[in-house]
Amino acid sequence: MSTRSAGVWLYLLNCALLFSHEIDSAYWQEWDLFGLPGGIQLFLVLNLLLLVVALYGFRQVALGARGRRFFPLLLAGAGLFAFGIHTAFLLAGRPEFRLPVSLALLALILLVSLAQGFVTLKEWREKR
């Protein structure tokens, strides 16, 4: 499998994992966890915007367009942030995201985000 092909599949997998986590976040009422004003309404609007950006990024990656390196790094960074902030909440004793699938999603997001970042940087070095 080429680096570019791996990058496309990792982007798609990480996008699916992150948005599965966002569905889980609605269950846990993440807007309360982060103290977002507007509750579920703002949460839904933000997730719509995030999904549009992520899908546009997938298009860039799949077509090999200009943003093919930026968007995977952005998505991988979002995954690392999600893992990090939720790990901090878990270590602080928060009860949210303690179900086995919630924890598995966070662990997979970490692993796939690291792989995605590595593959994207490797492709970047190969093209120079």
Tens of pLDDT, residue by residue over 6-51, are 999 999 999 999 999 999 999 999 999 999 999 999 999 999 999 9
- Angstrom distances, CA of residue 35 to CA of 38, 40, 51, 64, 91: 9, 11, 21, 38, 18
Please tell me the pTM assigned to this model.
Answer: 0.94
Given a cut of 80, whether residue 83 has pLDDT beyond it is yes
pLDDT tier, 128 (very low <50, low <70, confident <90, very high otherwise): low
Our count of domains for the chain comes to 1
pLDDT for 79: 98
Given a cut of 80, whether residue 115 has pLDDT beyond it is yes
pLDDT tier, 95 (very low <50, low <70, confident <90, very high otherwise): very high
For residue 103, give its domain range.
3-127
State the residue for tokens 């966890």: 33
